[in-house]
Amino acid sequence: MPESYPQRAFAPPPDATEVVLVRHGASKAAVPGEPFEELEGQSDPPLAPEGEQQARAVAGRLAGSGETFAALFVTPLRRTAQTAAPLAELTGLDPVVVPELREVGLGEWEGGELRIRAANRDPLFYEVIANERWDTIPGAELAEEFAARAQAGLERVVDAVGPGATALAVVHGGVIGELARQATRSRPFAFVHSDNASITRLVVFADGRQLLRSFNDVAHLQGLTRRASSP
């Protein structure tokens, strides 16, 4: 019989590293005149009740997938640690903090101000979207600096788990959008709107090339209360 070559499911080469990026669950609602607490100049709200529910849902999805995860990473901001808590309980992994993966700095629009401005149709918010640069906001982190920081955070995760392993990282919407942009060389905001508790998968090859395997997988959130996502 002649040789046959059936289609097969994708499998990363043995010297590649897969990074599963989970966006944190929905955080506390922003209220005008009541800015969020900040950590080193960045908004640090806790999860909202629906965010806690989302965290349990994504933990159940990943822990029940049959995959083996080498490590679990979070950022210094507590909404990632709170989202990771059910994952840590189900997988037995202790979360490791990666400061470089914290959310993009929003300057004068920290404290929940971005959400408020967006909801009230502030013209500058639409400039941010049109320019595809967070640093359109006064005092915000420069786009080039954020890009370099996010990439450094990804490299730190990959170096920590090594080749042939899969890492879990609970991070932020801006970070996921930036890493997806770098992997695909897309326009800046092509991947900026990932949902809370969504799953995005990146493969980092041994030579540094990256492959975006999936973006914004929310199948595990069906039936839960959903609301619009913002940083």
The mean pLDDT of 217-228, rounded to a whole number, is: 79
Q: Identify the pLDDT of residue 228.
A: 42
Phi then psi for residue 196, to 5 deg, are -60, 135
Q: How many whole angstroms separate alpha carbon 207 and alpha carbon 137?
A: 36
Give the pLDDT confidence of 41-62 residue by residue, as tens digits.
999 999 999 999 999 999 999 9
Q: Tell me, yes or no, if the pTM score tops 0.85.
A: yes
DSSP 8-state secondary structure symbol assigned to residue 223: T
Percent of the chain with pLDDT over 70: 97
Q: How many whole angstroms separate alpha carbon 112 and alpha carbon 162?
A: 37
Burial letters 32-71, b for 16+ CB under 10 A, else e: eeeebeeeeebbbbebbebbbbbbbbbbebbbeeeeebbb
Give the pLDDT confidence of 154-172 residue by residue, as tens digits.
999 999 999 999 999 999 9
